[in-house]
A and B are shown apart, each in its own frame.
Chain A
Amino acid sequence: MRSPAKAREALVAGLRRQVARLEAGRPPEDERPISTGSPVLDRLLPAGGLRRGTLVEYLAPAAGSGAGTLALAAAREACREGRAFVVVDGSYFYPPAAAAWRIDLSAMLVLRPTSEADALWGLDQALRCPSVGAVWARCDRLEGRDFRRLQLAAEYGGTLGLLVRPARHRGQPTWADVQWEVRSAKDEGRKRQKTMFHPSSFERWQLHIELVRCRGAAAGQAVVLELDEAAGIWREAFDHATRSLPLPAQLAHSAAPRRA
């Protein structure tokens, strides 16, 4: 026989779990997180990665900054087990770049909506489809209600929505679970008036990534990642000249966390 006190304890624990699930801050225990494509970024997230059924924003301050490519790494992780990869984009997306990230072209679907309303609709439909692993989309303007709808769609379909957006949306209300800002490490170094190392080859691409917003994690953490060609992941950058971690990573610990 269980004592009434124990039964109450079990009940409370059960309720607590239920509340935790409702809060959506924590993943259900049985679900494994999706890697962001970089173990360093995974460590910054409380769940140890991204969760299915959520939206992730990649903010890009300028063209050619690497945000879309970083999102592809997460897409590849989410599209394992034969799930489809859907791209919603006007006409810029170039599939060979995705193929280079080992995303199967035969499991890729490209939607090319002609209007903003159609793009939203297509994005919503793709997120709602349970056989889709990840949806990669470039979207600029996103109103609160539409944003919420996309988030619900992702939740419904259990898909991962990767939204690549201009950095001016930083600080605006968002329904994304995680928000990154991706800029070139060189640009970040220039801003802080420190000379940064120069990559010796084109393949050693270095990105400065800041966790702008994530529930349950300290915002404002930043890392510098370098592309590891052979493994196909982004590693923590290492300055070979000074044999130390680059500047932004050191700053991240001392800097006051930004407001989410």
Chain B
Amino acid sequence: VALAHTTILPHDPAADLAALARLAEHCERFSPIVGWETAESFRFKVSGSKLKNRQSSTLNLEPGTSNFGFDGLFLDVTGIGVLFDGEENLARQTIADAARLGYEARAAIADTIGAAWAAARQNKCGMRSAECGIAESVRSTQCLVLSTESLRESQPTPGLSLHIPHSAFRTLPLELLRLPQETLDLLSQLGIAQLDQLLALPRESLRARFGERLLLRIDQLLGTAQEMIVPYRPPPQFISEWLLEYPAERRDVIEQIVRELIRRVASALAERREGVLKLACRLDCVPGRPLRLEVGLFRPSADVEHLWDLVRMQLEQAALSGAVGRVRLEATLTAPLENRQAGLFAGGEHEAARQLALLIDRCSSRLGNGAVLRPEFTSDPLPERAVRYRAGVGSQGIGGRKKFKVQGSKFKVRGKQNTTLNLELETLNSRLFRPLFLHSPPQPLEVLSVAPDGPPVSFRLQGRPHHVAQRWGPERIETGWWRGKSIRRDYWRVETDTGQRFWLFRGLIDGRWFLHGEFA
């Protein structure tokens, strides 16, 4: 019956996190270091991933985080209590402040992050509040604000009894230890429910049975292992927007607006010594669909002229379906600019690399990213797979020069060079080993050969007969059975009576002939 008036909505972790971020921003008035993650969990989660765009990185929660996940904030209040008339007042003010925003908060101040985390939750878990000093006053709350003071043991603040004695932890339920659910399940199966039971066990056996994390959490709770708060900071966004009161149709007006937006974004980036790697531009047309332009760069740049050049090349080719009412420009991917000391004389290797990067950027913008390619060898014996192409933009530098660093796993540089095939080509010691032109897919060919598996004698190409004067082969190329459909071919290099050179093969499975290349 009650459900009839209930609206059920799916859980939205992104919105949760956004709300937490707003709260964190608000709490910066109490402490310079506010965050919802600690360095330890942070390391577990985002090792090797980008640090910059935290909002997205925290969404990929590691399994087991959810039961002690991002439902609280950490504030470092070391030495701050004095400013608020004592730490207890600080806690009260924090709670009152959160209440104004519509949150019911619970707070605890303790020596370690682990202890504060546990104390702030002790009500929920049925721990008696008397054992946990500060938390008494804030019992009736829902959301929680966790505060900690990690450096307190070095400088004890006199006159405050917020220090939670170690004995209080003896009966601490293990749920308050920030452990993954699997570990908790295992512990409860073994009948271990409280911390003192766990501490009675030999440490080494704990490590072997439950892993490093359990010991780490105990140490963090008791203060023998250090833990740090990762301060939250709103991720910088490089967006610029222009709203036109009267939609404009004139190209020059629109171009001026885009240019101005690029200037704004670029100057915001340049202040942070960052450059654009990807730039997205959206022009909302009043009747019709919005026009989206995307520009990728070979190396980060905050140069207005260069960025404008790239955008303009796409803008010129695009058709607008109506008058433009809004222009929005966003740097969707950024990276630190290369710091380079300007030489007294222009030129040198840096200049050459820069010029090449400009060329790649320009070509990728106009021809499309798939049309600017950098070949590299693979170890595949099949001719059409012997070379792999990588897009010019957003990858490794050319010619083995110094690479730029990008904080994104997408742009991980795969520096491994495939030298084996190079060697192979050299050992075969022929400049004519492979044709200069390769037909992909191979062209079917009518070939006359004397023996069923003999060399080609004549063939017709584009309606014209070709007589084979000389031939060299066969060279057999097969794919491994583990590569799916097996391919077996006998390749012949032939010279016709007119001196033209071709590369033919016969499929050994169906016996059909194909033209695969020309020694052009």
Asked if residues B519 and A104 are in contact (CB atoms below 8 Å), the reply is no
Contacts of A229 in B (CB 8 A): 429-431
Asked if residues A125 and B363 are in contact (CB atoms below 8 Å), the reply is yes
Question: Is B438 interfacial (CB 8 A cutoff)?
Answer: yes
Question: Is B69 interfacial (CB 8 A cutoff)?
Answer: no
Question: Is A154 interfacial (CB 8 A cutoff)?
Answer: no
Residue of A nearest to B384 (CB): A94
Q: What 8 pairs between A and B have smallest CB-CB spacing? A: A184-B499, A186-B499, A64-B500, A131-B352, A94-B438, A68-B520, A95-B375, A187-B499
Asked if residues B438 and A227 are in contact (CB atoms below 8 Å), the reply is no
Contacts of A112 in B (CB 8 A): 367, 370-373
Interface residues of A (CB under 8 A from B): 60, 62-69, 72, 82-84, 86, 91-101, 104-114, 118, 121-122, 125-126, 129-132, 164, 183-188, 190, 198-199, 201-203, 205, 227, 229, 232
Asked if residues A64 and B399 are in contact (CB atoms below 8 Å), the reply is no
Closest beta carbon of chain B to A15's beta carbon, Å: 29
Asked if residues B434 and A108 are in contact (CB atoms below 8 Å), the reply is no
Asked if residues A131 and B356 are in contact (CB atoms below 8 Å), the reply is yes
15 residue pairs of the A-B complex, CB under 8 angstroms, read A69-B520, A92-B438, A100-B433, A100-B434, A107-B400, A109-B398, A110-B373, A110-B375, A111-B373, A112-B373, A125-B363, A186-B499, A187-B500, A203-B432, A227-B431
Give the CA-CA distance A66 to B495 in the complex, in Å.
12
Contacts of B360 in A (CB 8 A): 109
Which of A64, A199, A203: most chain B Cβ within 10 A?
A: A64
Contacts of B128 in A (CB 8 A): none
Give the CA-CA distance A232 to B430 in the complex, in Å.
9
Question: Is B411 interfacial (CB 8 A cutoff)?
Answer: no
Question: Is B417 interfacial (CB 8 A cutoff)?
Answer: yes
Interface segment out of the listed B169-177, B240-248, B386-394:
B386-394
Asked if residues A122 and B352 are in contact (CB atoms below 8 Å), the reply is no
Contacts of A95 in B (CB 8 A): 375, 387
Give the CA-CA distance A254 to B134 in the complex, in Å.
110
Question: Is B502 interfacial (CB 8 A cutoff)?
Answer: yes
Give the CA-CA distance A109 to B493 in the complex, in Å.
28
Asked if residues B432 and A227 are in contact (CB atoms below 8 Å), the reply is yes
Contacts of A60 in B (CB 8 A): 520
Asked if residues B417 and A100 are in contact (CB atoms below 8 Å), the reply is no
Q: When A64-B518, A84-B398, A109-B373 are in contact, do A97 and B435 touch as well, CB less than 8 Å?
A: yes
Asked if residues A111 and B371 are in contact (CB atoms below 8 Å), the reply is yes
Give the CA-CA distance A63 to B430 in the complex, in Å.
21
Question: Is B374 interfacial (CB 8 A cutoff)?
Answer: yes
Which among A125, A130, A202 is the interface contact of B352 at CB below 8 angstroms? A130
Interface residues in B493-520 by Cβ distance below 8 A to A read 493, 495-502, 517-520
Contacts of A190 in B (CB 8 A): 497-499
Which among A65, A72, A111, A202 is the interface contact of B500 at CB below 8 angstroms? A65
Contacts of A93 in B (CB 8 A): 436-438
> Is chain B's interface secondary structure helix, strand, loop, or mixed overall?
mixed
Asked if residues B399 and A84 are in contact (CB atoms below 8 Å), the reply is yes
Question: Is B355 interfacial (CB 8 A cutoff)?
Answer: yes
How many B residues face the partner with a CB closer than 8 A? 62
Residue of A nearest to B428 (CB): A100
Question: Is B256 interfacial (CB 8 A cutoff)?
Answer: no
Contacts of B500 in A (CB 8 A): 62-65, 184, 187
Interface 0/1 of B50-80, CB less than 8 Å to A:
0000000000000000000000000000000
Which of A63, A68, A112, A232: most chain B Cβ within 10 A?
A: A63
Known: A105-B375, A132-B359; 17 extra A-B contacts, CB below 8 A, are: A64-B500, A68-B437, A69-B519, A83-B352, A96-B434, A99-B425, A109-B392, A111-B363, A111-B371, A118-B366, A118-B367, A121-B367, A122-B363, A126-B363, A130-B352, A186-B499, A227-B432
Which among B366, B374, B437 is the interface contact of A92 at CB below 8 angstroms? B437
Asked if residues A131 and B355 are in contact (CB atoms below 8 Å), the reply is yes
Asked if residues B495 and A110 are in contact (CB atoms below 8 Å), the reply is no
Question: Is B268 interfacial (CB 8 A cutoff)?
Answer: no
Asked if residues B499 and A185 are in contact (CB atoms below 8 Å), the reply is yes
Q: When A63-B500, A205-B501 are in contact, do A96 and B366 touch as well, CB less than 8 Å?
A: no
Closest beta carbon of chain A to B303's beta carbon, Å: 16
Give the CA-CA distance A198 to B493 in the complex, in Å.
15
Question: Is B155 interfacial (CB 8 A cutoff)?
Answer: no
Asked if residues B359 and A203 are in contact (CB atoms below 8 Å), the reply is no
Residue of A nearest to B357 (CB): A131
Contacts of B496 in A (CB 8 A): 64
Asked if residues B501 and A94 are in contact (CB atoms below 8 Å), the reply is no
Give the CA-CA distance A122 to B474 in the complex, in Å.
39
Question: Is B486 interfacial (CB 8 A cutoff)?
Answer: no
Question: Is B16 interfacial (CB 8 A cutoff)?
Answer: no
Residue of A nearest to B386 (CB): A96
Contacts of B432 in A (CB 8 A): 69, 100, 202-203, 205, 227
Contacts of B439 in A (CB 8 A): 92
Contacts of B495 in A (CB 8 A): 184, 186, 199, 202
Contacts of A104 in B (CB 8 A): 399
Contacts of A108 in B (CB 8 A): 374-375
Closest beta carbon of chain B to A232's beta carbon, Å: 7
Give the CA-CA distance A66 to B398 in the complex, in Å.
29
Residue of B nearest to A129 (CB): B359
Question: Is B472 interfacial (CB 8 A cutoff)?
Answer: yes
Give the CA-CA distance A131 to B357 in the complex, in Å.
10
Asked if residues B470 and A164 are in contact (CB atoms below 8 Å), the reply is no
Residue of B nearest to A112 (CB): B371
Contacts of B429 in A (CB 8 A): 229
Question: Is B358 interfacial (CB 8 A cutoff)?
Answer: yes
Give the CA-CA distance A60 to B520 in the complex, in Å.
8
Give the CA-CA distance A101 to B425 in the complex, in Å.
10
Interface residues in B405-439 by Cβ distance below 8 A to A read 417, 422, 425, 429-439
Closest beta carbon of chain A to B272's beta carbon, Å: 28
Asked if residues B434 and A186 are in contact (CB atoms below 8 Å), the reply is no
Contacts of B326 in A (CB 8 A): none
Contacts of B387 in A (CB 8 A): 94-96
Which among A94, A114, A131 is the interface contact of B435 at CB below 8 angstroms? A94
Residue of A nearest to B517 (CB): A94
Asked if residues A202 and B417 are in contact (CB atoms below 8 Å), the reply is no
Residue of B nearest to A84 (CB): B356
Closest beta carbon of chain A to B55's beta carbon, Å: 36
Closest beta carbon of chain B to A16's beta carbon, Å: 30
Residue of A nearest to B401 (CB): A82
Closest beta carbon of chain B to A106's beta carbon, Å: 6
Which among B399, B425, B438 is the interface contact of A107 at CB below 8 angstroms? B399
Residue of A nearest to B389 (CB): A110
Give the CA-CA distance A153 to B128 in the complex, in Å.
82
Question: Is B42 interfacial (CB 8 A cutoff)?
Answer: no
Asked if residues B520 and A66 are in contact (CB atoms below 8 Å), the reply is yes
